[in-house]
Structures are given as C-alpha cells and as structure tokens.
A = this chain, B = another copy of it.
Amino acid sequence: MSRVAVIGAGAVGCYYGARLAEAGHEVHFLMRRDYEAVQAHGLRIISKDGDLHLPHPHIARDPSTIGVVDWVICALKATAIEQARALVAPCVGPSTRILVLMNGLGLEDRFAEWFGAGRIFGGLAFTCINRGDPGVVHHIDYGPITIGHLLDDPAEVDTALSLWARARVETARAPSLLSGRWTKLCWNIPFNGLAVTAGGITTDRILADPALRTAVTALIIEVAAAGNADLDAHGSAVRLDGATTARNMVAATEAMAAYRPSTMIDFVEGQPMEVEAIFEEPLRRASALGVATPLLSLVTGQMRALNTRARSGAEIDRGPR
C-alpha cells in the first residue's frame, strides 16, 4: 500500500483519489473549497461504476501537514500551474513519484524542471466528472486513465500501473506520454473549445449541429497533424491517425449523456479557463513546426479573447449609440 497525496482536490482529484483510498491506499487530499463539507460529511462519489462514501478521508489545507509520500497526484487546474511547485514540494522526498493528472500540453516539463524528469508521469483521464454540492462528485461516464512516463521508461510505467492494480479504475499504458497528450487534446480542443465558443453548450448539442460536427472532425484532424509533427520533432516513431481518432471520438462522445466540459463550466461561471495549456501551447508548437492549423488558430483566438474578458471582468465593448 502506498502513501498518496492528491494535490488539487477538484472533481478529478477527488474521484481518482477516492478510488485509490477504496483500494486500501493511504490517500491525503489537499482541499480548499470543500474542506469543511468533507470534514463534516465525508467525501461522496456518485458513480456509474458504483457509488462510494469515504466518511473520514485524510484531508489537509496545507501540503506540509501531509509530508513526504510515495505518489503525488497533481490534479490542479492548469491555470494554477505557477502555484503547483510550492503545493507539491512539501510532499516530495527522494523516491516520490508524481503523476500529473491535468489537462494540456507541456505541464510535465515544468514538473521535470522542478523535481527531475525521472519521477514524472502524465495521466490522461478520459472521463466525465463534475463537482456537485461541496463534498460530492458526480462520475457520469467513462473513467479510464492512460498513463505515460515523461522519459517513456516502460518499467516506470509498470510501477505507475501497479498503484492502480486494485483500484476500481481501468488503466492503460500510453504508447508514449507525448502521443497520449496529443490524443487527449484531440478531444479537449474541439469539445472544450466549441462548448465555450458556441455560448456554453453541452457536448450533445455540439454533435447535434451538422456544422459544428463537421468542425469537430476537421479540428481533430488538424490537431493530430500538429501532434504528429511534434512527435517527429521529439524523435518519437508513434503517430496518430487523425481520421480514425475523429471517428472514434465523435462516436464515443455521441454515446455519452449531455456533458459539460470543465472549460465550459469555467466559462459560464466566469472563472479563468485552461486556455494556455489546452490551446496556446499546441498552437505554438504547430506554428513553430510549420503545420497549418487555421481552425485551431481560430478557436484559440476566440478562447483567448473570451478568457481575457472573463479574467478582467470587463464589459463587452459598447461603442457610440
């Protein structure tokens, strides 16, 4: 059994941390918003894979009270990346491993700068999870985690997978962490992007509109092409098949209930969105590699403008009238 620290106990952190606790690991949750509620009533998971109630989970407001662990699961929002080092560091000892369970591209590289690349993993959660009332998490659909190691060391990936061996979570090995990240972007860029830019709509409404559905497929093909150029530039032989990925992701999303991607929730709640990690960094790499990505460019520009508005709380422009 391992000591685990979940840093950033939002919907994703709470869900996967609870599954590890259920499997017998000693899981500590760093909590802010839900601390009192969980202290009073425990942590409740309402899940299509079976509900779960942890009446007295280990919770902390300060990571130094958790101390050194075997595994850090960092599930912060990508917008909090600049705070991640300070929040994670108190839990890191010589043999601590770190699983970055966040959205977006390039985050593991930051952790590698801070803590050394050999201990850094990325987790790609293909799942529909939303927060409910304080202390309650709704796990709506899917749930597998694909795991990769930043240096793609197969023995290290084995170690990571063994953490989840008894947990009620399906796991898979990424062909390479970078290809896994780009595969995840193939979903997040179109669905998080269009859910926001079409005004705050659920995934079913995106796919019900023939024009948006066409755009989803075209976007996935663009993102896969950018990903392949990036994989090539990193010396990886792994390649994504854009058309197949598009077909599979559209089908998988169609089979889901109406879902509110996390970025869309941030948008309608006026919170900062994960634009940098999900959109800006992929666009930056595509541009640097000379891959034409006009759709990604369009959506990134829109997200950037909408995020600026949300961040500044600024009124939309009003001219003479």
Contact = CB atoms under 8 A, between A and B. Distances in A.
B211 A319 contact: no
Interface string A283-319: 1000000000011011111101110010000001111
A252 B295 CA distance: 24
Given A295-B294, A319-B202, A319-B260, A211 B283 contact: yes
Contacts of A304: 209, 211
Interface stretch (A16-24, A130-138, A168-176): A130-138
A50 interface: no
Given A199-B309, A317-B268, A318-B268, A212 B301 contact: yes
B317 A212 contact: no
A260 B199 contact: no
B316 A197 contact: no
A202 B260 contact: no
A276 to B, nearest CB: 13
A137 to B, nearest CB: 10
A221 B319 CA distance: 29
A309 B131 CA distance: 25
Interface of A: 130-133, 138, 194, 197-202, 205, 209-215, 218-219, 258-260, 264-265, 268, 283, 294-295, 297-302, 304-306, 309, 316-321
B138 A199 contact: no
Contact of A301 (B198, B259, B320): B198
Nearest to A309: B199
A309 B316 CA distance: 17
Contacts of A319: 130, 202, 258-260, 265
Contacts of A131: 321
B199 A316 contact: yes
B305 A199 contact: yes
Contact of A194 (B198, B212, B301): B301
Contacts of A210: 301
A97 to B, nearest CB: 33
23 contacts: A132-B321, A133-B321, A194-B298, A194-B301, A198-B301, A199-B305, A199-B309, A205-B305, A205-B317, A209-B305, A211-B297, A211-B298, A211-B304, A212-B297, A213-B301, A214-B297, A215-B297, A218-B294, A218-B297, A259-B319, A260-B317, A294-B294, A295-B295
Nearest to A307: B199
A293 to B, nearest CB: 9
A187 to B, nearest CB: 17
Contact of A198 (B130, B214, B295, B305): B305
Nearest to A267: B316
Given A138-B320, A294-B295, A318-B268, A301 B200 contact: no
B197 A302 contact: yes
Give me the 3 closest cross-chain CB pairs, A-B, nearest first.
Answer: A212-B301, A211-B301, A200-B316
Contacts of A209: 301, 304-305
A200 B302 CA distance: 10
